[in-house]
Amino acid sequence: MMLVVDPDEAFGNNLLNDGGTRFNQRSPKSVFDTLHDPWFSNGVVLASNIEHNNNSFQYSYFKADLTHAYSSKVRNYTKTFCFVNTGNKQVPAFIVVLDNITSSNADFKKFWKINTIKEPLISDSSILLHNREETGPTGWTHIKTLLPAKANRKTVYWNSQDTVNPIAPLPAISTHEPETKGYQLVISPQQANKKDTFLNLFLMAADGVRPPLVHFDETSMEYRIKVLDYLVVLPSKSELLPDSFDITLLDHSDQKVILAGLKPGLWYVCKQDNNTHFKFKVKENANSLQFSGNHGTYKIWRNNPDSEGETQ
């Protein structure tokens, strides 16, 4: 979750200011109220797509504008979520989560937060979440924070029973529910900015499995994340990817490329060394496609009426 702390924001009697979303004590009286009353407008779905191949789930892509879930302390906030089913038994899935958020005041502290029952393990390169018990299998989630960069972020966590933490002082909770003995972890930028970007990669792995290497590149318009035999490309702004760009695949083995954040319309992918090209129709609000390729440079562009090829 994203927290933005405006120290002057009030959430009601006996409630702490943790920087969360608007505090709602109203209920809609009709479907019309739910759909049209601005008070209940907490977000807008910008894109949603689920990709299958031969009845096999490949990936899902979701993007939402969540600005109105917060008070005026947040000027703009979009969250992008891309889940990839790798089919790899050791690392069966990974998730890319991108949060672009702009506050109305640079001094409002921002926190990217995770809640977990078990105590997380923190290293220089990742955060490890787990479900370890005395008996039974253990699953691991390796979280690699790509943005903010290591030198520009601070990562801390605390137990929910702790009354002192970086966000707000908390009263002691007297209950035996496991959630009240869990842990809260936050990542925050070192410098005060109105606009901040949080880009995190979740790698799901079996017990004893070392997470794969992650390659991350950033251009003026795109984020490129290479995991296993996948390359995920996302827009680095709140907008969509440009109408034309190139990508280079370095591995000679087959790789899957997921382009998320495309404008609707016809898109063309052409491998430059042999002129092999494909045509894809990107639907309104789906805004993504996937193709397979190997070593070489691929030119990708939108709406060229002179191109021909196989529609995917």
CATH number of the domain where residue 86 is located: 2.70.98.70
pLDDT digits (tens, 9 = 90+) for 23-80: 888 899 999 999 899 889 899 999 999 999 888 899 999 999 999 999 999 999 999 9
Token look-up 């034309």 returns 244
Residue 261, classed as helix, strand or coil, is coil
Indicate the burial class of 10 (C-beta count within 10 angstroms; 0-12, 13-18, 19 or more): exposed
> What is the model's pLDDT at position 231?
98
CB 201 within 8 A of CB 223: no
Which strands sit side by side in the sheet containing 255-260, from one edge to the other?
A: 214-218, 222-227, 230-235, 255-260, 288-293
CA distances in angstroms from 201 to 88, 139, 212, 226, 297, listed in the order given = 17, 16, 12, 11, 25
Residue 21: which domain range?
Answer: 2-311
Among 24-33, 172-181, 264-273, 301-310, which stretch is predicted with the lowest mean pLDDT? Answer: 301-310
Q: Is the pTM of this model over 0.85?
A: yes
- pLDDT category at 101 given cuts 50, 70, 90 is very high
d(CA 292, CA 131): 35
Query: The tokens of 309 are what?
Result: 């090829």
Among 8-12, 30-34, 75-79, 214-218, which stretch is predicted with the lowest mean pLDDT? Answer: 8-12
d(CA 241, CA 261): 6
d(CA 196, CA 15): 27
Give the ranges where the chain is alpha helix by DSSP (H): 31-36
Indicate the burial class of 35 (C-beta count within 10 angstroms; 0-12, 13-18, 19 or more): exposed
> What is the model's pLDDT at position 279?
93
What's the chain's Rg over C-alpha atoms?
22
Listed in sequence order, the residues at least 6 apart from 165 whose beta carbon sits closer than 8 Å to its beta carbon are: 158, 184
Number of structural domains, the chain? 1
